[in-house]
């Protein structure tokens, strides 16, 4: 049906539409999901929930900044990992995103430092090395405490390009440059694995 006043198709009330538009900005959120979220706010968020949500958005933008040393997100000047005197300062593990730091921390398997690039090289998106925290990494590596750089990029075209670039830049130095292993994941089924994963699994094979 069309609106009796303007003959245009019926629309959501403006405030709902504005909220739907905000949710649609998020990655992987299409119109249907955004509508679902917006109606969830309308129907299930009380005053306190809404205030808490608004406050958390405000706080995150006010308080969260990259660590001055490694680029990991923090609410202080230097992040907890960089401040931690017990960590092995010889190793720096390079990741694309701050979120990746938390994922690796949760494994309890790594005791070195990190460096967050804040993205990956992607010529098609206009992202070159100069748009990432690479200059900061090279600057940091002048400190001779650091001996190993572990590249932990995602297994994607952008991740590969970034790792190749860093390898090329760093191979002139005395640093040991390593790369995390790629291959079939835990629970992974060969029949369902994609070509890239299988290629890496074969390429990385070891003597049994």
Residue 52 or 138: the one with the smaller Cβ distance to a second copy is 52
CB closer to a second copy out of 18 and 145: 18
Q: Which of 30, 31, 50, 176 binds a second copy (CB under 8 A)?
A: 50
Judged by CB under 8 A, the residue of 40, 90, 180, 185 near a second copy is 40
Q: How far apart are CA 97 and CA 117, in angstroms?
A: 7
Residue 192's contacts (CB-CB under 8 Å, 6 or more residues apart) are none
Q: What are phi and psi of 117, to 5 degrees?
A: -75, -25
Q: According to CB under 8 A, which residues from 14 to 33 bind a second copy?
A: 14-16, 18-19, 21-22, 25-28, 33
Q: How far is CA 67 from CA 72, 74, 80, 121, in A?
A: 5, 6, 9, 21
Phi, psi (5° rounding) for residue 93? Answer: -100, 125
- For residue 63, state whether it binds a second copy (rule: CB under 8 A): yes
Contact 180, 165 (CB under 8 A): no
Residues that bind a second copy (CB under 8 A): 1-4, 9-10, 12-16, 18-19, 21-22, 25-28, 33, 35-45, 47, 49-50, 52-64, 73-75, 80-81, 83-87, 97-99, 102, 105-106, 108, 110-111, 118
């Amino acid at each position: 049906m069309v609106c009796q006043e303007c003959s245009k198709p019926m629309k959501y009330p403006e405030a709902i539409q504005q909220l739907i538009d905000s949710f649609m900005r998020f990655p992987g959120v299409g119109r249907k999901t955004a509508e679902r979220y917006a109606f969830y706010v309308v129907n299930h968020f009380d005053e306190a929930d809404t205030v808490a949500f608004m406050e958390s958005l405000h706080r995150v933008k006010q308080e969260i900044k990259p660590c001055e040393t490694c680029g990991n997100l923090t609410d202080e000047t230097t992040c907890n990992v960089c401040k931690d005197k017990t960590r092995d300062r010889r190793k720096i593990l390079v990741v694309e995103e701050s979120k990746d730091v938390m994922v690796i921390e949760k494994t309890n398997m790594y005791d070195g430092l990190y460096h967050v690039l804040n993205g990956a090289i992607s010529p098609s998106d206009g992202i070159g090395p100069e748009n990432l925290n690479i200059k900061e990494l090279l600057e940091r590596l002048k400190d001779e405490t650091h001996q190993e750089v572990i590249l932990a990029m995602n297994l994607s075209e952008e991740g590969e390009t970034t790792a190749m670039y860093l390898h090329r830049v760093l191979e002139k130095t005395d640093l040991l440059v390593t790369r995390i292993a790629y291959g079939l994941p835990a629970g992974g089924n060969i029949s369902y694995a994609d070509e890239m994963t299988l290629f890496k699994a074969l390429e990385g094979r070891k003597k049994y």
